[in-house]
Amino acid sequence: MNSKKFIFIIGIVIAFLLAVHPGFASDELKASDNGKLINGQEYVKNRVLVKFSEDETPTAETTESSARGRIPGRNARHNQLATVLSHRYRSEIKGVRYHKYTGYYMVETQENCDIAALCRKLRLEPFVIDASPDYYAVIDSTVPTGYESSKPVLAASCPASTAPGTAIYPDDEYFQYQYALYNTGQVYLPETGLSGTTGSDIKAPAGWAWTTGSEDMIIAVIDSGVSGDHEDLAGKVIQGYNFVNDTPDASDDHGHGTFAASIAAANTNNGVGIAGVCWHARIMPLKTMAASGYGSYSNIAAGIRYAAEHGAHVINLSVGGRNPSPVLEDACKYAYEQGVVLVCSAGNYSPNVHYPAAYDDYCLAVAATGADDQHAPFSNTGPEVDVAAPGYFVWGARFSPYEPDNLSSYRWDSGTSFACPYAAGAAALLISYKPFLTNAQIMSLIKYTADDVNQDEDPGVDEFLGYGRLNLRTLLEPYELN
C-alpha cells in the first residue's frame, strides 16, 4: 500500500472514531455528511426574508442612516407594503418586521405554512424583488469541535530566526507541528505518526521575511464567536457582536471560531501555542453560529455588513450553506464594494461549492489540501474554487465550552473551515505590506501567486484547487522588474 493511501485510510479511521466520541453531539440541529439537515430543516422555521423595491421618498431615519454610510433603513412605503402583505396573506403570515441589520423584512409565517409555496406567491407581487427562506449555514469542519490531542512530545527545535530579509522561524511551542506553515516532512500528528511531504506548505517563514503584519489590520471572524481569554489570542480580540443572541458579547460557545481565529492571527513568537499567519492582526468576533454549529443566512449577512461598517479589512467566513440567497449575496456585494476582502471556505462533503464562497464576483473560495499537497477528500469542488490551503489535520487553539477555564490547550482539526483562515491571514499580511492595493488586486495576487501543485493531473486552474496552493513567499516577495 502506498503512503498516500495509508494516510487517507488513517485519516478516515480517526475521523470516524471522533465522530462517535461522546459529549460532542449537537444540542440543536444536526447535519449529515453532505450538509443536509437530518431533520429536514434546511431553513429557519416559519420565516421568509422579503426584499421590497426601492422608492425615492425616504424617511428621516433612512436619510440619517444613509448619511452615515450604513445600510438603507426602512421607509414609509416599505412599511405600507409590509402591511399589505400581512393583510393579503393573513392565512399564511402572522406578522412582518424590519430587520435592521440587513435591510430586509422578516415575515413570520403561521405554523405549518408551506414556505416554498408562499415564497413563490410573494415573488409574483410587483413590489417584491425577492422572497426566500432564511436558510441555515453550517461550520465547515469535519471533526467535532472540542477534541484535544495529547500534548506533543517536542522534537528538535526549528532553525533560529535570521537577519531581516531572510526566512523567519518563530519560537512557538507547536510551530514545529504546523506543517501548513513549514513542512520538512516532520511528524505532525504524534498520535498516529503521520508525517508530511517536504515543501508541501504555504512558505510562511519565507513570507514573514517581508512582513509579519500590522496591528492596524482587523480580521473579522464570522463564526461561533471567539474566546479572547485564550492565551494565544489574549489582547487581540476587539469589540464585535453576537447576532445569535443580539448582544455585544461575542464569546465562543462552540470552539470553532476560536480555532479559526488562531490560525489567522494567533499571538506569535511568544514561546507558547501555535503561530498565526498574520502575527499582529486583531480579531473582530462576529457570532452568527449557535452552539449547535448552525446559523441563519440573515445573521451571517448581518455579520458581513457589520464588519464592513466597523473597519474590518478582511472577513473570514469558515461557514457555508448549499443554497443561494439574495440576502447573503447582497451582503457580500456590499462588503466588497466597501473594499473588504472576503475569504470563504469552499465547504465539505458536498458536490458543489457552498455559499457564500460560490459568489465568485465578491468572494475568495478556499479549498483544502493535506500535508502532501493533495486535494483533501472532503473538500468541495467546482469552478468557483479560487485557491487552496492546508486544512487536513492542522493545529489551532482549543476552546471548549465544557472547560471554559482551560485557556492554554491546543488540538488538531480538519475542514475547509481551517484552510480558509490561512488565506485570510495571507490577505491581512499583504494589506499590511502594500496598503495601496485594492481588494480586487489582493484577491488576484493570492490566486496568481499560488503553486499549481496538482499540475500533473490537472494543469492550470481547476475545480479542485483553483489556481493552486497558497504561497506566502511568492505573494509577498518583491519582484525586480528588468
Cite the active site residues.
Answer: 223, 256, 417
| Cα(301)–Cα(304) distance, integer angstroms | 5
Q: How far apart are the first and last CA of the chain?
A: 49
Backbone phi, then psi, for 222, in 5-degree steps?
-90, 105
User: Contact at 8 Å (CB) between 115 and 133?
Assistant: yes
- Strand ranges for 275-324 from DSSP E: 282-287, 294-296, 314-317, 319-320
Distance CA 454, CA 16 (A): 28
Which segments of 109-195 does DSSP mark as H helices, in order? 115-123
- DSSP letter, residue 395: E
Taking the C-alpha atoms of residue 444 and residue 430, their distance in angstroms, rounded to an integer, is: 12
Q: What share of the chain is helix, strand, coil (3-state, %, to 5)?
A: 25, 20, 55
Q: Which three cell numbers stand for residue 103?
A: 435591510
Give the C-alpha separation, 57 to 92, whole Å.
Answer: 30
The count of C-alpha atoms lying within 13 angstroms of the C-alpha of 81, restricted to the half-sphere facing its C-beta, is 22
Question: What distance separates the 2 farthest-apart alpha carbons in the chain?
Answer: 73
Sign of CA dihedral 100, 332, 315, 287: positive
